[in-house]
Amino acid sequence: MGNDAKETRAKVLVVDDDRAVGTVLVALLSQAGHDARAVTSGAEALAALAGRPIDVVVSDLRMPGMDGLELLAEVRKRAPGIPVILLTAHGNVPLAVEAMRAGAADFLLKPFDRDEVLFAVAKAARASEAAAKRPPAPASAVEGGAVIGSSRAIADAMERIAKAAPTAATVLLRGESGTGKEVAARELHRRSGRTGPFVAVHCAALPESLLESELFGHEKGAFTGAIQRKPGRVELARGGTLFLDEIGDVPLAMQAKLLRVIQEREFTPLGATRAEKADVRFVAATHRDLDLMVARGEFREDLFFRLNVVPVRMPSLAERPDDVDALVVRFVAQHGASNGKPALRITPTAVAALREARWPGNVRELSNFVERLVVFADGDEIGEAFVREELTARSPAENADTTSGEMAKMTISSLTSLGERRSEAERDALRAALERTNGNRTQAARLLGVSRRTLYNKLAELEIT
């Protein structure tokens, strides 16, 4: 339990013009182990964001002066990695859809339920932690609607996305972690012409007991704590796109319910007596081998066929080395701007050094590493010597594809398939992370930048005890 508490602890800023509500929320969050404080206006909130680190913002929607939606827009502009949860006594589905379309992490109704607030904040805190490790913008870098890169591999993926986007067909995005599957999903939505919002559900981050309510919503009295109706993500995505990230982590029992929604285009909220229409475009993504999971009985074959109508494989960075230069230049500009160094540039020889390096974490890892260079760079230039120094200093997990690979050369030389090579590299990375954390799996998952469920699944898949 101690590790879980540490993992969900967050610095929370509560924004509500009603001081009594702010006081109650701060007390509730503090009792749960969070570091919470309250302010009474959007202007005070922006000042607080500028003055200290914040992981999650919980804001009232209706406030004098700057309201919750305006505050949300400012937070997304100034600190796009910070999730904003909107809270209101005037809740209805159109208002919730507007909030989700504007980029809210969640939408809660007053009078609020304690467990629902704590769950929403914990979920947002996990998203905030992930954003700090891997900036959300470019995992295959979309700028002005165009994916950065001109390699054949990324061009092929984008051609399939462009053809599929205007249709209603379900799309399954496959590829290693960090290759840009969510960015591709957003590009599909942008090109689709659908007027509803893009709503993402990160399936691996939700326990099975809460996933159904999160997807389908619930009626008042559906379960203990359900004090009023709450729309689910399927309903909030009406007219738009529902992105099911890490679909391979959905439990079998839930897979059957998802199959019905995708197949029949209808869903039933918890506690409801009749089904509602699901007017959404489904896009799913996974880094897992669904074919193998189907063969093992871990993933429903009929659901796989429903999802795999239009398969799109996002290439690894190793398959598109010619794109590294453009990505690095873009990341330097992006992270320079967000870290107060807009004039920072990188030398051609430094870019070449990054091109030569191996990136098992793909574009996400490259982006994170470039941000590290930006943060620690002196002066207005990132040079080759500095890049090589930082590459050498990478953590065991980051270097698992190289240093551990060197240790396993004799073993790898006997492997015949790319899949076997990848599995061996993953084993090395997992063992290195577990060794570094003295077997603490929660810390190992954090070190590797994955959820604990993903770590446990990978350990089981690779038969690591």
pLDDT at position 227, please? Answer: 72
Can you list the alpha helix ranges (DSSP code H) found in 377-404? 384-392
Segments of the chain assigned to CATH 1.10.10? 400-461
Instruction: For residue 309, give the DSSP letter.
Output: T
User: If you average pLDDT over residues 22-45, what whole number do you get?
Assistant: 92
CATH class of 2-133: alpha beta
What CATH fold (topology level) applies to the domain 152-315? Rossmann fold (3.40.50)
Answer whether 0.75 is exceeded by the pTM: no
- CB 295 within 8 Å of CB 256: no
Q: Nearest 5 degrees, angle CA 301-CA 159-CA 247?
A: 30
pLDDT at position 413, please? Answer: 39
Residues 246, 181: Cα–Cα separation, whole Å: 10
Instruction: For residue 408, give the DSSP letter.
Output: T
For 352-379, the pLDDT digits (tens) are: 999 999 999 999 999 999 999 999 999 8
For 275-333, the pLDDT digits (tens) are: 889 999 999 999 999 999 999 999 999 999 999 999 999 999 999 998 999 999 999 99
- Comparison of pLDDT for 10 and 429, the residue scoring more: 10
For 140, phi and psi rounded to 5 degrees? -155, 25
Beta-strand relationship, 56-60 and 11-15: parallel
Unique residue bearing structure tokens 């913002």: 57
Residues 168, 214: Cα–Cα separation, whole Å: 23
- Core vs surface per residue 41-58: b (16+ CB within 10 A) or e: bbeebbebbeeeebbbbb
The residues near 244 (Cβ < 8 Å, ≥ 6 apart) are: 201, 203, 250, 258, 282, 283, 284, 285
Q: How far lies 280's CA from each of 97, 165, 267, in Å?
A: 13, 13, 11
Of the pLDDT bands very low, low, confident and very high (cuts 50, 70, 90), residue 136 is very low
Handedness of CA 331, 358, 185, 132 (dihedral sign): negative
Q: How far is Cα of residue 108 from the mean position of the Cα atoms in its chain?
A: 21
Burial of 253 (0-12, 13-18, 19+ CB in 10 A): exposed
CATH 1.10.287 fits 400-461, yes or no: no
Of the pLDDT bands very low, low, confident and very high (cuts 50, 70, 90), residue 5 is very low
Segments of the chain assigned to CATH 3.40.50.300? 152-315
pLDDT at position 210, please? Answer: 79
- CB 216 within 8 Å of CB 232: yes
pLDDT at position 247, please? Answer: 96
For 372-410, the pLDDT digits (tens) are: 999 999 989 999 999 999 998 886 666 654 433 343 333
- CB 178 within 8 Å of CB 223: no
- Residue 74 in tokens: 């400012």
Give the architecture (CATH level 2) of 318-392.
Orthogonal Bundle (1.10)
